[in-house]
Amino acid sequence: MKPILVGAALCLAMAGAAAGEIRVLRFSEAKQFRMGTVVSNRIVHPDMGARRLTLNFSFSEPGHEFAQHAHDESDDTILILQGAGDLRQGNSRRRFLAGQAAFIPAGQIHGTVTVGAGTAIMISFQTPPDMALYSGARDSLRPGAAPPKGVVTPGAAKFVDFASRDGFFVHPGMGAARIAVAHWKLKPGQKLSATVPHDGEQVLFVWKGSVALLHQGRSLAAAEKDAVFASGPAQFEVRNESPAETIVIQAQAPPQSGWKK
């Protein structure tokens, strides 16, 4: 089973259960926020109804820093889609490149510094959401700001290559109890199915190509850099609508039993 999802502004009436929701979230409609010298875009967040996870998107220029911070009760999963960056934790820095991700448990101090000659593109998921990130309260680079409250535990942050994989790369088997994240490569016309449980949420971010949701005879589209938010209960099918390979990143909160490929 390969769970994945997409859709557009519809409520699904499910017999014998509360209605789930599926929405396409256009990148052009994302809200901006600043951390340090990086301006990011919040795409999935509590203001639009998310309770279990968020999706943030960042363009970061060389030398720019997403300020060090810690989440009291939220895990953070950061993916580099283009370019390179250092995960900074106190005085330590570790390089990770396009196609690599870092999973940082709650309470661990972390931030990113863009390195190299080009723009870095990163996305991140928080589980559960931390609204303080968007208010600036976590920005340790603001004038007069206090140092971040948290710890740096050697080995707590986990690094993983995802670009070469077709399936889940963050999951409970490597210590992520609140999220599972997958990287899917869809050939033209390839279909996948998804089930979102009653208390679950899922996000699909279309990095390359385009997809269509197939549900009860309807077909609804999500294009490159669009994201899709779904709350359960919901069941649907997804198809690659692009003439070339489509790449999507899927996040489940909580992780489902089918995260093993």
Mean pLDDT of the chain: 90
Please report the domains of the chain, with CATH numbers, ordered by start residue: 10-25+165-259 (2.60.120.10), 31-161 (2.60.120.10)
Torsion of CA 72, 65, 35, 5, to 10 degrees: -70
Q: Nearest CA to 239 among 205, 203, 215? A: 215
The pLDDT value recorded for residue 219 is: 79
The pLDDT value recorded for residue 234 is: 86
- pLDDT at position 4 over 60: no
Distance, CA of 41 to CA of 27 (rounded, Å):
8
- pLDDT at position 261 over 60: no
- Neighbouring CB atoms inside 10 A of 233's CB total 18
Tokens of 212: 């269509």
- pLDDT at position 45 over 50: yes
Query: How does pLDDT run across 103-116, given as a tens digit for each residue?
Result: 999 999 999 999 99
What's the one-letter identity of residue 88? R
Query: How does pLDDT run across 137-173, given as a tens digit for each residue?
Result: 999 999 999 999 999 999 999 999 999 999 999 999 9
Q: Nearest CA to 5 among 203, 240, 241? A: 203
Give the mean model confidence (pLDDT) for residues 79-86: 98
The band of 259, judged by pLDDT with boundaries at 50, 70 and 90, is: low
pTM for this model (two decimals): 0.91
